[in-house]
Amino acid sequence: MDLTGIGKGLAIPDAAAEKPQTAASPASKFSDALRNAVNDVSRLQQTADKAIKEVQTGNTGSLHEAMIALEKADISFRTMLQFRNKFIEAYQEVMRLQV
């Protein structure tokens, strides 16, 4: 059965066309994406930490700025968690493939 025509009209990128890029390091793709997500979250959490420290030491920091930094870190963490869940789901789906 010929299925190649299905995706043609839907502007779905051809998987075969992207192959040269992905084939170079197929194993590091998942970990790279995860690492980037974790790094972003870590940066925001450090900002939040700094803001809280400034409030606690009574320096220049204002309470609401610290809270906003904290909430930003919270949202980014939750976003990262969702990324991670999706990645793991996709990874396990691939590992379950019957050969």
Partner 1 sequence: MDFSTTFKIVGTGMSAARARLDVVASNLANASTTKTDEGGPYKKKTVTTAAEPVESRFDSAIADALKSVKIESVTEDPNAVKMAYDPAHPDAGANGYVALPDINVMTEMADLITASRSYEACVTAFDSTKNMALKTLEMGR
Positions in the binding site for partner 1 (CB under 8 A): 62, 64-65, 68, 71-72, 75, 78-79, 82
CB nearer partner 1, residue 29 or residue 72: 72
Q: How far is the CB of 87 from partner 1 (least distance, A)?
A: 14
Running DSSP on this structure, what letter comes out for residue 13?
P
Hey, which bits of the chain come out as E strands? none
- Output 19 or 86, the one with its CB closest to partner 1: 86
Q: Which is nearer to partner 1, 39 or 82 (CB)?
A: 82
**Distance of closest approach, residue 62 Cβ to partner 1, in angstroms:** 7
To the nearest whole angstrom, how small is the minimum distance from the Cβ of residue 28 to partner 1? 26
Residues 85, 82: Cα–Cα separation, whole Å: 5
CB of 31 to partner 1, least distance (A): 22
| Residues 6+ away with beta carbon under 8 Å from 55 | 61, 62, 63, 66
Q: 90 Cβ partners below 8 Å, 6+ apart?
A: 30
